[in-house]
Chain A
């Protein structure tokens, strides 16, 4: 969840180095894919304190992105303390033992950098984008808050008030977000993915200063983090600076994740419906689905191909059937993200063409899906879907922020670099039969949930 976008700058402020330079530590290497399989020239290594470092070169422009990802997110919040991961994310901008409150944001603003952070279910990421000559200062500040977090005492209350404003902006004012919140709370019976990243309001209000400080002490060590430096800088310089600023930070005790997991789900379909003027008209069919870390890799890859066959823009089978032939939907798409730490879901979303199409659309989605999984998955569709996936990934990786985000999330959630970068070869190995099998396995039963946004303004315009 994004918290801020800083725009900004600072070359006139000279600060005493926060972290003393020490002898360079030895560097252990992580296995890398062979060069020919690594077209993005990504290199990685691990510092002795456990920090994984990735270097992604791109010399298009004199700009660099630094991202630090902690392998901890809102789904790791202690019971009754929902929202603490996100609360800490806010406080991380409010000062350290060495850097008074305000200096971080002032530095960012003064050099014209962009800075942001976001908490997700499984990870929390802090990043900055800036002109290349500021890398050292940015590393110094990011390493400082990893080791010496100590916010201004006044920040604990004011950041909580700010989060309440954020909650109102994202959830209170937004009926689509309320539908999403209700849907997740019902879809997951026991796993913490059922709890909003920002937290439940009532629990958020009770989180204390000590909760945040303890959380940082427990989880924000270098051995629980990944550093990515991407952009206009060579590998050797990245290595030297990473050693200088992050090398001296001591490792913390290793923490094992201890999340409650989902029980076996009942087969009956659960329904959630939100009726309002401002909710988007939609019918979602939500299915259980595996993820990369705990699932069968072949199944996950085959499901990714099936997602494209169903819902890849207007060439997808669902679109062609529900929008073009039956003319019952205005739009339809499929969504499957297996990059979560624990299994998440596979979602089909369709928007009814008129208010009167809701019921019929739900039935039509079901019948169409059955027909596709039973009769229509063939070699041509599978090969086309593979091409689309590979093309989209290549396109996505034209952006420094996209490729950084993809790599750190994958690594943080148990994938290895080689697998992630070998996506061309991985998808090439999947056969039509594999896709037919996963489609039967995961979609032969009705969806575990139907979530509907019933738009009353659509009713008005249809009348």
Chain B
């Protein structure tokens, strides 16, 4: 006999979305007005005992640091939880842990982000604590000196995939803020002082450049209350004004970037310029990339992994930053096989240009791109990341529907016209890290 148990916990809200035919795609986002002119995005989810908060300060990432202070935002991010309460960060962390408050920081080239999670029942104590994080930065010179060289000096011993990616970024964006090392350079790091960290919140963290999102078992009123408390002590405007950094198309690097590491498996990175985000061409590029390297049905995956067994994984993705868009690809293979991977990548780019994609490829890509949205909704952390990402990019709350409509409306002839005009295998840039003497950039 089957026992039936009454559902009483999980029937809370239902994200109304249809994935197979994209008739409707809507997340239950509420827009909550908060202090000054800001707004918070909220998804109510009583199925989690947690409150999740995402905060992003735009134009505060590593590329926006003043000349001579490169690496400052990364150092602030690394020190964020340290040196509180007059320098004893262990005591502060113990208070956080006692309240089950988890904090993560994330610094990119453009933005500085903070993630918080804690049990709803501790909100009354946690929210005032979060508030203090942004206006009570007391750091000792000793803490600054101990931490400022970390990322910079460890770079050479880092994971080869990371080294390959970073080295190539620095080359294709040379001369542009995106080409800087987010950890700073030897001269700027030396110049960083405790006072720089102390003034950092006032200089860069203001209401005017804040995006904030909430998810959990909380309503609009509670969201407003929490957000207003956190924002209360933030200045309305940043002390240091920053202009937008100029848009840049990554510059192709003709020579192969090679870095020696004594590892049996080499890592390969490649970059190709792509059209600016949110243009029609961007959507055509997105479709073309599904065929090239995004999925396990892609041309690269099938050639390098399924047919030849040369790699455990190979993939390409389109990276969209506020001031650049490009295709980034990566693979790893045993040293002696590295040239074969370079050749396959070059060959698949050439084939894409000469043959374009088929009607079947287009339909596959459209279904893939719209269908995969469901997999981003499996847990609360993923859901808040999705909506916060959209808010940070100044999208409307119906962003999913717009994305689906844009993908579905792409026509084959437009994609192939774009491929013909845009793709030029000569513009591929490669880097490899490992033991790869003798490798060369493949030619026609």
Chain A interface residues (CB < 8 Å from chain B): 4, 6-12, 27, 29, 32, 35, 38-43, 45, 57-63, 65, 102, 105-106, 108-114, 129-134, 157-162, 164-166, 168-169, 172-173, 231-232, 235, 239, 277-278, 312-315, 320, 323-324, 388, 391, 394-395, 398-402, 457, 460-461
Contacting pair A62 B14 (CB below 8 A): yes
A9-B367, A11-B20, A106-B297 known; A112 and B374 CB under 8 Å? yes
Contacting pair A8 B12 (CB below 8 A): no
CB contacts (< 8 Å) of A399 on chain B: these are: 378-381
B368: CB under 8 A from chain A? Answer: yes
How many Å lie between the Cα of A62 and that of B375 in the bound state?
10
Contacting pair B19 A112 (CB below 8 A): yes
Interface residues of B in 247-280 (CB under 8 A from A): 263-265
> A147 to chain B: closest CB distance in Å?
23
Contacting pair A398 B380 (CB below 8 A): yes
CB contacts (< 8 Å) of A38 on chain B: these are: 5
Contacting pair A9 B364 (CB below 8 A): yes
Contacting pair B364 A112 (CB below 8 A): no
Interface centre among A32, A41, A460 (most CB of B within 10 A): A41
CB contacts (< 8 Å) of B8 on chain A: these are: 41
Interface residues of B in 65-112 (CB under 8 A from A): 90-91, 93-94, 96-98, 100
Contacting pair B90 A10 (CB below 8 A): no
How many Å lie between the Cα of A19 and that of B48 in the bound state?
39
A41-B8, A62-B14, A62-B374 known; A131 and B363 CB under 8 Å? no
CB contacts (< 8 Å) of B295 on chain A: these are: 6-8, 109
How many Å lie between the Cα of A52 and that of B249 in the bound state?
55
How many Å lie between the Cα of A232 and that of B5 in the bound state?
16
How many Å lie between the Cα of A111 and that of B366 in the bound state?
10
How many Å lie between the Cα of A388 and that of B97 in the bound state?
10
Contacting pair A395 B378 (CB below 8 A): no
- With contacts A111-B368, A157-B309, A394-B49 known, what are 11 further pairs, Cβ within 8 A? A4-B296, A7-B294, A41-B10, A61-B377, A112-B371, A112-B374, A130-B375, A158-B306, A165-B310, A398-B50, A461-B149
A62-B17, A112-B370, A166-B312 known; A313 and B97 CB under 8 Å? yes
CB contacts (< 8 Å) of B11 on chain A: these are: 59
Contacting pair B378 A161 (CB below 8 A): no
How many Å lie between the Cα of A38 and that of B6 in the bound state?
10
B191: CB under 8 A from chain A? Answer: no
CB contacts (< 8 Å) of B383 on chain A: these are: 61
> B52 to chain A: closest CB distance in Å?
10
How many Å lie between the Cα of A113 and that of B296 in the bound state?
11
How many Å lie between the Cα of A62 and that of B305 in the bound state?
32
Q: Which one of A11, A58, A165, A320 contacts B10 once the chains associate, using CB atoms below 8 Å?
A: A58
CB contacts (< 8 Å) of B3 on chain A: these are: 29, 32, 43
> A60 to chain B: closest CB distance in Å?
6
CB contacts (< 8 Å) of A61 on chain B: these are: 14-15, 17, 374, 377-378, 383
A39-B9, A168-B265 known; A110 and B374 CB under 8 Å? no
B160: CB under 8 A from chain A? Answer: yes
Contacting pair B47 A58 (CB below 8 A): yes
Chain B interface residues (CB < 8 Å from chain A): 1-15, 17-21, 45, 47-50, 90-91, 93-94, 96-98, 100, 119, 149, 153-154, 157, 159-160, 263-265, 294-297, 305-313, 332-334, 360, 363-364, 367-375, 377-381, 383
Closest to A398 in B: B48
How many Å lie between the Cα of A154 and that of B49 in the bound state?
50
Contacting pair A63 B374 (CB below 8 A): yes
Contacting pair B375 A12 (CB below 8 A): no
How many Å lie between the Cα of A320 and that of B374 in the bound state?
43
CB contacts (< 8 Å) of B48 on chain A: these are: 395, 398
Between A and B, 19 residue pairs with Cβ closer than 8 Å are A4-B313, A7-B375, A8-B296, A8-B368, A9-B371, A10-B364, A10-B371, A12-B367, A41-B9, A59-B11, A102-B306, A110-B371, A112-B367, A130-B374, A158-B306, A162-B311, A232-B14, A398-B50, A399-B380
How many Å lie between the Cα of A399 and that of B379 in the bound state?
5
Contacting pair B265 A131 (CB below 8 A): no
Contacting pair B20 A131 (CB below 8 A): yes
